[in-house]
Amino acid sequence: MTQKQRIEYLAVTLSVFISAFLIYAFLGNMQSFGNEDKIQSFLLYGLLGGYGFSSILSGIILFVRFISKKSLIFKIMASVFWPISLAGLFYIGVLGYIPYQIYNVVKIIQKKPSPFQ
């Protein structure tokens, strides 16, 4: 991935995280479900919504980049066995979101453009 693609990926996933955080935090804060602490409820629902949506988006982006480099036969097999592809996309996003964000930020900081290029 190029540095521009890394920055775009980071910007898109973080903007989805922030917007989903705010939407779910305010929706979850409307009615308390056994927890009377409004701040804790606001943060909990916000984190769940933000992480959920941004991790699914991350999984979609990474899966599309992965499958675009594969052969036509592989793409056909992935579309025939779409439940397996969908599960892979989901687990790639949910389990790999935080480690890949850390890796992505490190690569953005580490790889600075050379003035000679």
Is residue 33 within 8 A of residue 58, CB to CB? The reply is: no
Q: Report the 10 Å Cβ neighbour count for 65.
A: 12
pLDDT over 80 at 56, yes or no = yes
Predicted TM-score (pTM) of this structure: 0.78
CB proximity list for 54: less than 8 A, separation 6 or greater: 13, 14, 16, 17, 20, 97
Residue 48 carries which side chain, given as an amino acid letter? L
pLDDT in tens, 11-31: 999 999 999 999 998 888 877
Is residue 111 within 8 A of residue 3, CB to CB? The reply is: yes
